[in-house]
């Protein structure tokens, strides 16, 4: 079986705003972030009891199709051999915060002659909007499962 990199997208983002439209929920904040490398914009809902982000701080953000470092697909169902339960190596070992979600919308948004796309992902109701170059985000397909992995830089 051939394997490939599990990483679909990766960049460094700086948090520029917290709750720009006001606070909606006690334990969730919406963060607006700008990337360093690929000039992407990200809006992300985060459970602040678990992992509060800091404005002006930079975070590495990766989106992956599986948590297996060798790229082998994970199971869609409960698996007793899940990496964290068995002590096997996992992408989670390198990050502080992980969420599992699904891409639910992919929208072309060409503005000022620059090709841009918007990708929307739901992590159990916590939402993410990622806006950027279609070539950098082409691996994110509607209805695909995605892991979000974050850590402070």
Radius of gyration in angstroms for the set of CA atoms belonging to the chain, rounded to a whole number: 16
Q: In CATH, what number is assigned to the domain containing residue 95? A: 2.40.50.140
Domain hosting residue 135, numbered range: 7-69+82-152
What is the per-residue pLDDT for 2?
A: 43
Number of H helices, E strands in the chain: 2, 8
93 within some domain: yes
pLDDT in tens, 64-106: 999 888 788 876 655 656 555 556 788 888 999 999 999 999 9
What is the per-residue pLDDT for 1?
A: 39
19 within some domain: yes
Copy the structure tokens of residue 136. Answer: 């950098």
pLDDT in tens, 112-143: 677 899 999 999 999 999 999 999 999 999 99
Number of neighbours of residue 12 by Cβ within 10 angstroms: 15
126 within some domain: yes
Q: Into how many domains does the chain fold?
A: 1
Residue 45 Cα distances to 40, 55, 93, 101, angstroms: 16, 14, 22, 12
**What are the φ and ψ backbone dihedral angles of 97, each rounded to 5 degrees?**
-140, 130
26 within some domain: yes
108 within some domain: yes
What is the per-residue pLDDT for 75?
A: 63
40 within some domain: yes
> Is a pLDDT exceeding 90 seen at residue 13?
yes
The DSSP bridge partners found for residue 60 are 12, 151
Query: What is the C-alpha separation between 38 and 149, in angstroms, rounded?
Result: 17
What is the per-residue pLDDT for 71?
A: 81
Q: Where do runs of H (alpha helix) occur along 53-116?
A: 83-86
């Amino acid at each position: 079986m051939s394997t490939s990199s599990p990483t679909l997208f990766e960049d460094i983002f700086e948090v520029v705003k917290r709750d720009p439209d006001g606070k909606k929920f006690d334990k969730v904040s919406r963060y607006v972030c700008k990337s360093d490398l690929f000039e992407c914009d990200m809006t992300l809902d985060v459970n602040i009891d678990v992992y509060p982000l800091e404005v002006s701080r930079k975070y590495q953000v990766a989106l992956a199709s599986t948590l297996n470092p060798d790229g082998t697909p994970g199971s869609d169902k409960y698996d007793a051999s899940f990496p964290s339960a068995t002590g096997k190596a996992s992408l989670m070992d390198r990050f502080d915060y992980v969420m599992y979600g699904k891409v639910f919308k992919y929208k072309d948004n060409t503005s000022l002659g620059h090709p841009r796309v918007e990708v929307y992902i739901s992590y159990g109701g916590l939402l993410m909007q990622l806006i950027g170059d279609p070539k950098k985000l082409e691996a994110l397909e509607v209805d695909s499962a995605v892991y979000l992995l974050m850590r402070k830089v």
